[in-house]
């Protein structure tokens, strides 16, 4: 589930917690796919390295090291990055006081490592960083920092929606490359625009009153310009709420996000559309994805 707001929330937490810490050791659990690096790189460029910064591009986290290598991390659907200070492997006191205001006993995570832990990083001060990933789709790669932008994903990924230099006009130009496809898959296409996933695609399309199955070519420039503004608004709102916790997303300190409390359509099938109290949100399938719409606000054009 981590989309841009979730990855950004994790980044904010890690950027506060990690810089200055020195990597002492790394344990890779059952899945080589989770951290497919040659041991000599780990030996030379990870052990003893000081963390110098934490960045994000699209849905990818970048942990920069003093050795001019970076840890490139994609959480895919169920990945988590959880920090634990000192030798503690249980939640910090105060964990559970999350963005959603949940009860501490509702914590989504307990002692670490657990059975979903794929990589555990130990720092010289005794603190730990855990990469958990129930479904093993995610990965961590150790890459020379200068080579990060040469990775295939970064070569083709589109502009950052929250970057001030990314304009609505640029978005329209890029999504027009997919004039033949439907709006939802075009919006999910990371080479058009970075960072939008299933939750925020549904929310933004509802806000812009565009049916997800409408072909891009049938949507006016004016509507596409508005859609971009809605994408920006929904991403910013979600970041301010710590992202969306649907099933298992948590931030670097184990807290849930509360955006779904504010969602208009996502996971709200059977509930009234905020704009039409008499109309119920429907769940349909578009391009293989669960998709939420108001059948009155959003009609195929």
Partner DNA sequence: CACTTGACCTGTCCGC
Partner DNA sequence: TGCGGACAGGTCAAGT
Coil, helix or strand at residue 68: coil
According to the binding rule CB under 7 A, does residue 103 interact with DNA?
Answer: no
- Least spacing, CB of residue 201 vs DNA, in Å: 7
Q: Give the closest residue to 4 by CA, choosing from 205, 247, 204, 194.
A: 194
Which segment (91-99, 131-139, 165-173, 235-243) binds DNA by CB under 7 A? 131-139
Distances in Å between the alpha carbon of 25 and those of 38, 106, 119, 278? 15, 31, 11, 58
Touching DNA, residues 153-192 (CB under 7 A) = 153, 177-182, 185, 188, 190
Q: What share of the chain is helix, strand, coil (3-state, %, to 5)?
A: 30, 25, 45
Closer Cβ to DNA, 52 or 190, answer by number:
190
- Least spacing, CB of residue 103 vs DNA, in Å: 18
Q: Give the closest residue to 57 by CA, choosing from 152, 145, 206, 158.
A: 158
Distances in Å between the alpha carbon of 203 and those of 139, 198, 228, 235, 273? 28, 9, 12, 10, 12
265 and 294 Cβ atoms separated by less than 8 Å: yes
According to the binding rule CB under 7 A, does residue 77 interact with DNA?
Answer: yes
Closer Cβ to DNA, 164 or 285, answer by number:
285
Which segment (41-49, 103-111, 130-138, 256-264) binds DNA by CB under 7 A? 130-138
Which residues form the catalytic set? 2-3, 59, 289
According to the binding rule CB under 7 A, does residue 107 interact with DNA?
Answer: no
DSSP state of 198: H
User: What does the binding site for DNA look like in residue numbers (CB under 7 A)?
Assistant: 1-3, 33, 58-60, 74, 76-77, 115-116, 134-137, 152-153, 177-182, 185, 188, 190, 197-199, 216, 246, 283, 285, 287-290
């Amino acid at each position: 589930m981590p989309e841009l707001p979730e990855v950004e929330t994790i980044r904010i937490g890690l950027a506060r917690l990690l810089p200055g810490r020195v990597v002492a050791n790394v344990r890779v659990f059952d899945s080589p796919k989770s951290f497919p690096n040659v041991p000599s790189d780990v030996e030379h460029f990870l052990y003893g390295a000081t963390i110098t910064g934490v960045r994000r591009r699209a849905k990818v986290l970048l942990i920069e090291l003093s050795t001019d290598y970076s840890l490139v991390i994609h959480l895919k659907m169920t990945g988590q990055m959880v920090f634990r200070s000192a030798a503690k492997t249980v939640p910090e006191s105060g964990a559970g006081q999350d963005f959603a205001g949940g009860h501490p006993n509702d914590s989504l995570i307990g002692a670490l490592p657990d059975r979903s832990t794929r990589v555990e990083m130990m720092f010289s001060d005794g603190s730990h960083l855990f990469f958990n990933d129930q479904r093993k789709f995610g990965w961590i790669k150790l890459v020379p920092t200068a080579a990060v932008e040469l990775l295939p994903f970064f070569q083709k990924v589109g502009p950052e929606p929250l970057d001030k230099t990314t304009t609505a006009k640029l978005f329209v130009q890029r999504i027009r490359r997919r004039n033949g496809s439907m709006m939802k898959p075009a919006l999910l296409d990371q080479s058009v625009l970075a960072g939008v996933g299933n939750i925020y695609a549904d929310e933004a399309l509802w806000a812009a009153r565009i049916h997800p199955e409408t072909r891009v070519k049938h949507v006016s420039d004016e509507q596409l310009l508005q859609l971009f503004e809605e994408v920006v608004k929904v991403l910013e709102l979600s970041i301010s709420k710590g992202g969306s916790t649907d099933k298992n997303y948590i931030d670097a300190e184990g807290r849930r996000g509360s955006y779904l409390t504010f969602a208009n359509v996502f996971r709200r099938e059977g509930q009234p559309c905020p704009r039409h109290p008499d109309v119920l949100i429907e769940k349909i399938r578009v391009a293989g994805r669960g998709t939420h719409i108001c059948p009155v606000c959003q009609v195929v054009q």
